[in-house]
A = this chain, B = another copy of it.
Amino acid sequence: MLPFTRVAIIGMGLIGSSLARGVRSHMPTVRLTVADADPAVRARVAALDIADDVADGAGAAVVDADLVILCVPVGAMAAVAAEIAGELSPGAIVSDVGSVKGAVLAVLSAALPGVAVIPAHPVAGTEKSGPDAGFASLFENRWCIITPPEGADAGAVARLSAFWTRLGARVETMDAAHHDRVLAVTSHLPHLIAYSIVGTASDLEAVTRSEVIKYSAGGFRDFTRIAASDPVMWRDVFLGNREAVLELLGRFTEDLVALQRAIRWGDGDTLEALFTRTRDIRRSIIDEGQDTDTPDFGRPH
């Protein structure tokens, strides 16, 4: 028994197009309509043939859908919600895939009064963007966090959960504020730091850009992967999760300054103690199936 029969996906980037492919592959009888604001993306999606219909606008796409998933940058949610507000079928569930949940819940609830808004966030992705970057197995064995608002219909939450489970995801439920604190640690701060260090390395005088590139296999290249993620999506994440990110950034800076001090004073014991402790957490991540144990992420050698 399918949790939904007519699904609309708005936004055909990496996540939206992966969802479309996942629906095709795991729920082939679902009627799938998609939309994207960019005509070039719409044309590409039609050529890729990963949906039944490619609508010209978000409003047209959601008519008849029993599940609508917004896969646009967090800052674009309000505009899309306004576009679809008058077009939704009675009983339709509106969800999203944004990396920020508090701000999205507020925006969608305000724009869609009386609609069952159940935000969600699949913790998955790559550094690539656009409809060609998506693939059906992106969500397999990854967690999808559903953040139902207070008083949400339990049946609607269960159906959304069943939908993500069919795509191969593991589902967890928490409130939006806690989600935003958790993701600040596991996603937002890592991205901010990666962007920052890549920026720093690009602007030095004593070391040339060409040297940074040549010798990047010493560790730097790892950071460039997530620093190649979609700029608009990530701008909106930081603006949308400001408080949790700023609080965590304060904590990180404090810890980094303590390390700086240990280096300045030649305190090898403090350094070694931290470096020993951090090994365990990678082991746990691998044991939990959230990363590969193959050396160097399995890069070719």
Query: Which one of A31-39, A63-71, A204-212 is at the interface?
Result: A204-212
Please, what's the 1-or-0 string for A97-127, where 1 marks a CB less than 8 Å from any CB in chain B? 0010000000000000000000000011111
Which residues of B lie under 8 Å from residue A300 when comparing CB positions? 292, 298
Indicate which residue in B135, B172, B213, B276 contacts A281 across the interface (CB closer than 8 Å).
B213
Contact A285:B224 (CB < 8 A) given known A196-B252, A217-B124: yes
Within 8 A of B (CB), among A24-63: none
Contact A202:B278 (CB < 8 A) given known A124-B217, A217-B291, A239-B266: yes
Q: Are A206 and B181 in contact (CB under 8 A)?
A: yes
Indicate which residue in B137, B190, B202, B264 contacts A301 across the interface (CB closer than 8 Å).
B137
Which of A197, A214, A259 is packed against the most chain B CB atoms within 10 Å? Answer: A214
Within 8 A of B (CB), among A240-274: 242, 245-246, 248-249, 251-253, 255-257, 259-260, 263-264, 266, 268, 271-272, 274
Q: Are B231 and A128 in contact (CB under 8 A)?
A: no
Which residues of B lie under 8 Å from residue A198 when comparing CB positions? 278, 281-282
A151 to chain B, nearest CB (A): 24
Q: Are B259 and A196 in contact (CB under 8 A)?
A: yes
Is A222 engaged at the interface, CB distance under 8 Å to the other chain? yes
Bound CA span A257–B192, Å? 11
Bound CA span A206–B248, Å? 10
Q: Are A299 and B290 in contact (CB under 8 A)?
A: no
Is A133 engaged at the interface, CB distance under 8 Å to the other chain? yes
Is A162 engaged at the interface, CB distance under 8 Å to the other chain? no
Please, what's the 1-or-0 string for A147-191, where 1 marks a CB less than 8 Å from any CB in chain B? 000000000000000000000000010000000011101111111
Bound CA span A186–B222, Å? 10
- Which B residue's beta carbon lies closest to that of A292? B299
Indicate which residue in B214, B253, B292 contacts A172 across the interface (CB closer than 8 Å).
B214
Which of A234, A253, A274, A300 is packed against the most chain B CB atoms within 10 Å? Answer: A274
- Which B residue's beta carbon lies closest to that of A276? B231
Which residues of B lie under 8 Å from residue A209 when comparing CB positions? 281, 284
Is A4 engaged at the interface, CB distance under 8 Å to the other chain? no
Q: Are B202 and A281 in contact (CB under 8 A)?
A: yes
Ordered by A's residue number, 17 sampled pairs between the chains whose C-beta atoms are within 8 Å are A123-B218, A124-B217, A143-B217, A172-B214, A185-B220, A186-B219, A192-B256, A196-B256, A222-B226, A225-B291, A227-B275, A227-B279, A231-B272, A234-B275, A235-B268, A246-B260, A246-B263
Given contacts A138-B301, A298-B298, 16 further A-B contacts (CB under 8 A): A99-B218, A123-B218, A143-B214, A145-B215, A185-B200, A187-B220, A192-B256, A193-B256, A199-B274, A203-B255, A225-B282, A227-B275, A227-B281, A238-B263, A239-B266, A297-B299
Q: Which 8 A-B pairs have the closest CB atoms?
A: A187-B218, A231-B275, A126-B295, A190-B219, A297-B297, A224-B282, A227-B278, A198-B278
